[in-house]
């Protein structure tokens, strides 16, 4: 496949935000009447789909938008202290030189992503940052991005770390790559049948077009 545009998820794919996300979630939990997430259960939770996760943590679906908005706002305070996924700083600039456009589609806020990328001197690597406040709203945005660039579905690739990223890409009709270093487990991601399954950032170099 020769892709023209690569679109990345942010949390767990580019930025190592899992620990901070759990900290913020547990800080908000009492206010929302939901239980804390312990570090010991993270491994088990990584096998679950979004729907299964909400059931396991007893989070009412109607409370999700508020949790995302509050959590993203709280994350901004420490966003410059969070780390890139190891190896990403070296690979992304190399990869960028071989594609027409780079973008980010995230459930986090665009301002958080901007600040994080600027901190790590990667903002110029990306042409656009798109944000959706809905955990299940990425398919619509993926289609919109493709139409904006007037490209064929097979010319765009979405890259994410969660089962919902795979589901959204398939719903939008575009290829998808899943990375195993983020939230969902390698086993669960492999079972979702993405077009690519990457175990480390250097695997992205396999996407470079061969002329």
Q: Is pLDDT of 209 > 90? A: no
Q: What is the DSSP letter of 82?
A: P
pLDDT number for residue 24 = 96
pLDDT number for residue 16 = 97
pLDDT number for residue 133 = 73
pLDDT number for residue 28 = 94
Q: Is pLDDT of 161 > 90? A: yes
pLDDT number for residue 211 = 64
The answer to whether 192 touches 163, Cβ cutoff 8 Å, is yes
The answer to whether 20 touches 37, Cβ cutoff 8 Å, is no
**Rounded to 5, what percent of the chain is helix, strand, coil?**
50, 15, 35
The Cα–Cα gap between 46 and 175 comes to 23
Who contacts 181 (Cβ-Cβ below 8 Å, separation ≥6)?
12, 85, 161, 199, 200
Q: At what angle do helices 163-172 and 138-149 cross, to 10 degrees?
A: 50
The answer to whether 201 touches 91, Cβ cutoff 8 Å, is yes
Q: Mean pLDDT of all residues in the chain?
A: 94
pLDDT number for residue 2 = 87
Chain centroid to CA 132: 11
pLDDT classification of 61: cutoffs 50, 70, 90: confident
What average pLDDT does the segment 92-105 reach? 96
* Angle, alpha carbons 183-52-50 (nearest 5°): 45
For residue 1, give both structure tokens.
């496949």
For residue 44, give both structure tokens.
């088990």
**By mean pLDDT, which of 4-13, 76-85, 190-199, 202-211 is the weakest?**
202-211
The Cα–Cα gap between 13 and 20 comes to 14
pLDDT number for residue 86 = 97
């Amino acid at each position: 496949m020769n892709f023209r545009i690569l679109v990345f998820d942010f949390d767990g794919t580019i930025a190592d935000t899992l620990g901070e996300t759990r900290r913020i979630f547990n800080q908000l939990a009492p206010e929302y009447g939901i239980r804390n997430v312990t570090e010991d259960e993270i491994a088990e939770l990584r096998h679950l789909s979004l729907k299964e996760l909400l059931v396991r943590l007893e989070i009412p679906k109607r409370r999700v938008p508020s949790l995302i908005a509050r959590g993203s706002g709280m994350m901004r305070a420490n966003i410059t202290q969070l780390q890139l996924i190891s190896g990403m700083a070296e690979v992304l600039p190399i990869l960028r030189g071989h594609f027409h456009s780079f973008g980010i589609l995230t459930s986090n806020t665009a301002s958080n992503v901007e600040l994080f990328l600027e901190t790590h001197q990667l903002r110029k690597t990306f042409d656009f940052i798109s944000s959706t406040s809905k955990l299940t709203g990425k398919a619509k945005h993926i289609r919109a991005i493709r139409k904006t660039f007037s490209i064929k579905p097979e010319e765009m690739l979405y890259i994410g770390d969660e089962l919902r990223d795979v589901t959204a890409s398939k719903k939008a009709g575009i290829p998808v790559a899943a990375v195993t270093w983020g939230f969902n487990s390698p086993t669960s991601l492999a079972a979702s049948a993405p077009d690519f399954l990457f175990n480390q950032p250097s695997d992205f170099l396999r996407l470079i077009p061969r002329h």
